[in-house]
Amino acid sequence: MKSDASYGRAGVSKIVSGFWNFGNFSESLAFSNFANDDHCDFVNDAEFADTLVRAGERARTHRTRARVAVDQETADDAGVHITATTGVSAFHLRGVTVHSCLGIGISGTRMGTYDLVRKVRGNRAAWDRICCMRLLLIDEISMMSALLFERIDALLRAIRRNDAPFGGVQMIVMGDFFQLLPVFHPDDPDQRLAFESPIWTTLFPPQRVVRLRHNFRQRQDPDFAALLQSIRNGDGSVLTKHPHICTPDANQLFLVPTRRRAKTWNDHCLSQLPAESKKTFDTTFDGVPALLEELRKQLHDMDLISLELRVGCRVMLVVNLDIANGLVNGALGTVRQIHHEPNLVTVRFDHLSSDVPISTHRWTLQEGKKEASADQIPLIVAYALTIHKSQSLTVDAATLDLGQCFAPHQAYVAVSRLRNKKGLSLTSFRANAVFCDDRVVRFTSTACKDSP
């Protein structure tokens, strides 16, 4: 599909480059095959590769989950934007979230095109960014609904005044539909996945599909990688003989299917720390009542209405503060100090060697001239995390509660956070809790083919 924003072979092939292991023959072969295809392409991910979908003329690029290096020439091009649906993935790509890049925010996903354009018009930087955009890369596409996919298409068409798909912007999308899917409310009338959108079918037809395979996270444990492939395909029997059935330990991350289970364990571990260091941070709200109701719901879903912290407790950052330094949604750490005036918490994040002060963050919702805001410390207690919140994390050891998994791919995502089988412990397990979404199975069986 030709685009008036075509970036061409010379530029696009430089956007995504670099492997952890340059000597891996299968990866190089997959790239050379992919790099010489002149069409739109879809490369389906396992934890073993990544889905890469490219719309536009003469697609010539490759990408792995382990590392994405943006060539300096294209990094300096204001028309090229590297994004992801989650903050953690944006950090690994050295990019930003797609919501931030396009100025739509989280609330924008529920707006119609007219209101969304008005919202972005109030953000001059985002508006100019879209007008000058030549290529947009989005990682973790499995987390994007078809509705949001279509909203972005309509937004770019409207702002750029170009009725070509995505306003003529070339698209690269990546992800793994066998990982967690968008979170839909039971009452949502539209629960389609991104590939169920007619726009997807137009841009990425089945005949332009390639599948790459390489395991980066578990590359040192091929037996564990094989076990994961079975779980990925919905076969839970491979875990029935796993010997490490145990109780959770406060010194090891506990991944669970539900928020209630996570809260119970977090409250227990928190109660074991000295009470004299305890402080409760309550969210303060301001704004118009109609928007405050929605904002309260969002903060409630994030466990942030009332936040109890103690010195020594494990926490996770829930906003993107500094993507370049890894201070992103999903960063884990330990509270070192709690300040009472002003509200400030000092945290040593696991990936950093120095403490970081975390102050109050403001969330806002806007509809035209109406606005509501909420102020709170952007941390949650993280002895236990829901499997949903753990996606994109990599850990050496974790205890998993797989017996209560209720969503497709949930068990696979939990187990695949680990680098090797040695670090895997289970508190419960049911083989029938390991299953796949039928739509994903049908899609990958018809839209993907093995690479040479």
CA distances from residue 248 to 331, 394, 427 in whole angstroms, order as listed = 21, 19, 7
Question: What's residue 251's pLDDT?
Answer: 86
- Whether 31 has a pLDDT exceeding 60, the answer reads no
pLDDT band at 60 (very low <50, low <70, confident <90, very high): very low
Q: What's at 431, amino acid-wise?
A: A
- For 451, how many CA atoms within 13 A lie in the half-sphere containing its CB? 24
pTM over 0.75: no
Question: What's residue 239's pLDDT?
Answer: 85
Mind listing the pLDDT tens digit for each residue in 291-327?
Answer: 787 688 778 877 889 999 999 999 989 888 888 888 8
Average pLDDT along the chain: 78
The residues spanned by each domain of the chain are 8-217, 222-253+395-441, 259-384
- Whether 174 has a pLDDT exceeding 90, the answer reads no
Can you read off the two tokens belonging to residue 79? 């028309």
- Whether 7 has a pLDDT exceeding 60, the answer reads no
Question: What's residue 68's pLDDT?
Answer: 40
Mind listing the pLDDT tens digit for each residue in 222-277?
Answer: 888 888 989 999 998 888 776 567 888 888 999 999 989 999 999 999 999 999 99
- Whether 400 has a pLDDT exceeding 80, the answer reads yes
Mind listing the pLDDT tens digit for each residue in 122-146?
Answer: 888 889 999 999 999 888 889 999 9
pLDDT band at 11 (very low <50, low <70, confident <90, very high): very low
Check residues 242 and 51 and name the one with the higher pLDDT.
242
